[in-house]
Amino acid sequence: MATKPAQRPMDWGAFQVFAAVCDAGSLSRAAQRLQVNHATVLRRVQALERELGVELFQRGGAYVPTPAGRDLLSGLAGMGARLEASRLGMQGHDAELRGEVRLTTTDTLAHGLLMPLLREFQAGHPQVSLRVAVNNHFLSLTRREADVAIRGSNRPPENLVGRHVGNIRTGPYASKAYLGSFGRRPELAAMDWIAPDAALAHLEQAKWLAANVPAERVVMSVDSLVGMLHAVKEGMGAAMLLCPLADAQPDLVPLRKPPASLDTQVWILTHPTLRQVARVRAFAQFMFERLANDGRLAPRPR
């Protein structure tokens, strides 16, 4: 009796490439996300189509899934999450303070608060390497783009666990040189202002500015709170700045008491399945202890 040829194991990597192309809408963007070249993505997609005997994408322009591709993507949705949860759970068995901790945070927190603390942690744990991603959007802790997030947010993601360490305050500031050009302290509405641009329009300071400063007094918009700080230091006008950043600059002057309505909570967040990873737990606890006692943050309510 003839024996059936052994069935080859499924190439789960090809399914991941397929899902990335569906999400990105093109081979080039999927290649960037996966950190491989365009040809590799195309080859993996074509190999998967040959394996399954169906076309998964409509060719021409954007890579749009065919009906068969949509069915496959639907079937993979839950499987990816289960595989990732299993992998993260296995990491929980790591009991040694060694390896890598990936931190995602914003430019304002990195420059204003965190760098000295990161240096202190690394000096005390030389077997742990830190990888820091400084950006203003949440990386996915579920997909292991990061292990820990330290972010300012009054509505942290519900799928993460963490601790509120304090509040970061925001107030109006100008440089001593700029104020000196008036002879006496001017009204807020009489000054030139640096505003957050459209990318930061969701921030409460942008709403405050729209309510308190005439639009014609806005002379510049910037897509970075750190960039706004530098514009104010150059004497280009006043701005609503984060107090830990502005108070560290001796040439800047607060114009009013920071409005409590602009306070932003600072959170240390991680994925639930990573809480038992020794290096992640140690890093998160260290940062909590330091930041909860940092006078530059307004204390959280007891």
Positive or negative, the CA dihedral 270, 275, 278, 283 is positive
Q: Look at residue 281 and give its three-state secondary structure.
A: helix
Mean pLDDT over 278-290 rounds to 92
Per CATH, the architecture of 99-168+264-292 is what? 3-Layer(aba) Sandwich (3.40)
**pTM here?**
0.64
What's the rounded Cα separation, in Å, for the pair 109 and 216? 31
pLDDT of residue 1: 45
More confident residue, 142 or 70: 70
Q: Parallel, antiparallel, or unpaired: how do β-strands 99-105 and 128-134 relate?
A: parallel
pLDDT of residue 271: 83
For all residues of the chain together, what is the average pLDDT?
A: 84
The residue assigned the tokens 């040694």 is 96
pLDDT of residue 4: 46
Per CATH, the architecture of 170-262 is what? 3-Layer(aba) Sandwich (3.40)
DSSP 214: -
What's the rounded Cα separation, in Å, for the pair 27 and 135? 25
The residue assigned the tokens 């302290």 is 185
Query: Which among 132-136, 182-186, 267-271 has the top mean pLDDT?
Result: 267-271
> Is residue 161 within 8 Å of 167, Cβ to Cβ?
no
pLDDT of residue 135: 78
Sorted by where each begins, the domain ranges of the chain are: 12-91, 99-168+264-292, 170-262
- Helix ranges, 234-277 (H): 243-246
Q: Are the folds of 12-91 and 170-262 the same?
A: no
DSSP track, 100-126? EEEEEE-HHHIIIIIHHHHHHHHHH-T
pLDDT of 88-123, one tens digit each?
555 544 445 788 999 999 888 998 899 999 999 999
> Could you tell me the fold of the domain covering 12-91?
Arc Repressor Mutant, subunit A (1.10.10)
pLDDT of residue 87: 54
